[in-house]
Amino acid sequence: MGCIGHLNLIPGLHWPGGSSVNFRIVLYFLFAGVATGINLGVQWFCTQMLLQFYPVSMFPEDTELIRVALIYWSALVAGTGIAAVVKYILDKLFVFNYKTDSLKKDIVAFLLYALMAVFTTAIFWGIQALFYFGFGLDKYIGGTIGLVAGYIVKFFLDRKFVFVERDI
């Protein structure tokens, strides 16, 4: 009988003291898929909204690149930020089963999580921008590839540096 609190939902896959790293990886990438959907969905929504607020007619012809960049980067930052907060909560509670006994430890963990995210976000943004601006391809395909690459790196960074016991 599985218990969601312990995540013993699949026979043979357990938490430490009987934990399987494979199960953590499965959960991590399941949540990465959720965060990817949130990220790209927020980007799409923001892009649609910003296209309404910043129509082509608002900008002189020679500033179209500024309009595109404004919309692109605004949507990208919004999607990344919202998805990162959701992913942190899911990773902390369910993937790494990380509990803290003080607000200070929680803040340190979140700041380390955010620091690791800087590196992996650079991978994601770089690949997405390359697809969109460099190859003229769909930014969401590039974004998906970039997010997958970034999440692979981030799992190992989070496991090694973020969700570990520390004395503070």
- Whether 90 and 38 have beta carbons less than 8 Å apart is answered as no
Q: Is the dihedral of CA 135, 137, 139, 140 positive or negative?
A: negative
- Whether 107 and 92 have beta carbons less than 8 Å apart is answered as no
pLDDT at residue 4 in the model: 41
C-alpha 44/C-alpha 28 separation (Å) is 24
Q: Where are the domains of the chain?
A: 21-162
pLDDT at residue 46 in the model: 96
Exposure b/e, 115-136, CB count within 10 A at least 16 = b: ebbeebbebbbebbbebbeeee
pLDDT at residue 9 in the model: 46
- Concatenated DSSP letters for 93-154? IIIS----SSHHHHHHHHHHHHHHHHHHHHHHHHHHHIIIIIS---HHHHHHHHHHHHHHHH
C-alpha 35/C-alpha 31 separation (Å) is 6
The mean pLDDT of 108-130, rounded to a whole number, is 91
* pTM as predicted: 0.73
pLDDT at residue 107 in the model: 92
pLDDT at residue 166 in the model: 85
pLDDT at residue 10 in the model: 47
pLDDT at residue 77 in the model: 94
- State both tokens at 48: 């649609």
pLDDT digit string, tens, across residues 8-48: 444 454 555 555 667 888 899 999 999 989 999 999 999 99
pLDDT digit string, tens, across residues 36-85: 899 999 999 999 999 888 777 666 777 778 888 889 899 999 999 999 89
pLDDT digit string, tens, across residues 141-154: 888 899 889 989 99
* HSE value, Cβ hemisphere, 13 Å, CA-based, for 25: 7
